[in-house]
Amino acid sequence: MSQPLLLGVVGVGAALVGGLAVAAVVLVVLRARSTGAGAGVVDAVVAVADERLGATRGLIDGQLRSLSDELGRVTAVVSSLEAERSRQHGELSAQLRATVDQTASLAATAGALRQVLANPKARGQWGERIADDVLRAAGLVEGVSYVKQRALKSGTVPDFSIVLPRGLLLHLDAKFPVANYARCLDAASEHEETVRRSAFLKDVRARVRELGGRGYVDPGGGTLGFALAFIPNESIYAFVHEHDPELVDVALAQGVVLCSPLSLFAVLAVVRQAVEAFAVGSTATEIVGVLGDFSDQWERFCGSLDRLGRAVDGIERAYGELSGTRRRSLERPLARIEELRGRRLPGPPGPAPVDNLHLVDDGARGEAATS
């Protein structure tokens, strides 16, 4: 119920109460007049009625204010709920639009996939692309570890030929019949589904027999004792083994191993490890010879290093002798020579004694007389 309607109901109630009070007053006045009562009684009755009407009016006003406050709070809550509902509605609309877009994209993708499955050439290209991706993910390199579309002596052309040691090859075929599988998924009735499923399993067995007779398995001609038949989808791989458990034995009898993307990756990982182990084993003798040469050279190096160490020790002893004993032996005569030189050096010049002058003069006169 809205706020104006509630206020109207309360107003009507107040009017009814007020009308009843007025009617009671009028009735009392009329009775008083009919009985001949005085004016004082009428005034008293009117005063009591006014007092009661005032009390009733105050009570009604209080209730109206309380009701108005409560209606205000209810209105605020309703507004908040309305805003939240609008926000959630907007989010839900956005999610629905996103879901519609994703559904349309998924439908387009499914349609494109359906077209691919309906075209044999496109199916073959699709399987080859997935197989090539798995080969690269397993660490194999095109042109080194495997080759594409290389014809065999029998005239057949496998999709991939994996190169193994000693010139051996492991052939892989990526073409797989899935047309009846797609029809089985689109079957409108259980009977049609059963018929399509049987046709699909017959196609699979026929493909296995065909691969077994195409010369992909020829141990005398340089291949391994089996070939790989690639199923480019895990769901199809599981479907085949679920509805035809004996197919594995039939395929192995033909020398054919069925592989999904995951199982092909596992097979290639084992093949790669085997190739690396073979490479290490084939070079083991050469590695041992290299280790023997290294050991011989190491012994020679150690002998030369020991001789060099002894020579260094001799040089160190000779240097110690020269810098010690011989040096001290030479320093002692040098010190004596310096001491003697210090004794023979003349003293500082000074005045000559008189006696010495006379002696000099006498010597000069003697020399003159002699001459």
Residues of the chain with pLDDT > 90: what percent?
A: 1
Mean pLDDT is lowest, of 41-50, 139-148, 252-261, 303-312, for 41-50
- For residue 213, what pLDDT band results from cuts at 50, 70 and 90? confident
pLDDT digits (tens, 9 = 90+) for 168-203: 888 998 888 888 888 888 888 888 889 998 998 998
CB 116 within 8 A of CB 126: yes
Mean pLDDT is lowest, of 29-38, 83-92, 361-370, for 361-370
Mean predicted confidence (pLDDT) in 240-251: 89
Q: What size, in residues, is the chain?
A: 371
The pLDDT of residue 72 is 83
What CA–CA distance (Å, rounded) separates 118 from 129? 17
Mean predicted confidence (pLDDT) in 225-231: 88
CB 253 within 8 A of CB 225: no
* Choice between 353 and 113, residue whose per-residue pLDDT is larger: 113
Q: Flag whether pLDDT at 15 surpasses 60.
A: no
- Locate tokens 């046709």: which residue? 199
The pLDDT of residue 202 is 92
What CA–CA distance (Å, rounded) separates 96 from 44? 75
Nearest alpha-carbon partner for 162 in 230, 74, 115: 230
- For residue 360, what pLDDT band results from cuts at 50, 70 and 90? very low
The pLDDT of residue 361 is 44
- For residue 358, what pLDDT band results from cuts at 50, 70 and 90? very low
CB 207 within 8 A of CB 230: no
pLDDT digits (tens, 9 = 90+) for 47-92: 666 666 677 777 777 777 888 888 888 888 888 888 888 888 888 8
Give the ranges where the chain is alpha helix by DSSP (H): 3-34, 39-118, 120-137, 179-185, 190-212, 234-243, 247-253, 261-282, 284-321, 327-344, 354-370
Q: Other C-beta atoms within 10 Å of 128: how many? A: 20
Backbone CA torsion sign across 89, 91, 94, 98:
negative
Q: Mean of the per-residue pLDDT values for the chain?
A: 77
Q: What is the pTM of this model?
A: 0.48
- For residue 354, what pLDDT band results from cuts at 50, 70 and 90? very low
pLDDT digits (tens, 9 = 90+) for 266-295: 888 888 888 777 777 767 777 878 888 888
* Choice between 29 and 306, residue whose per-residue pLDDT is larger: 306
The pLDDT of residue 96 is 87
Q: Which two tokens stand for residue 32?
A: 């008083």
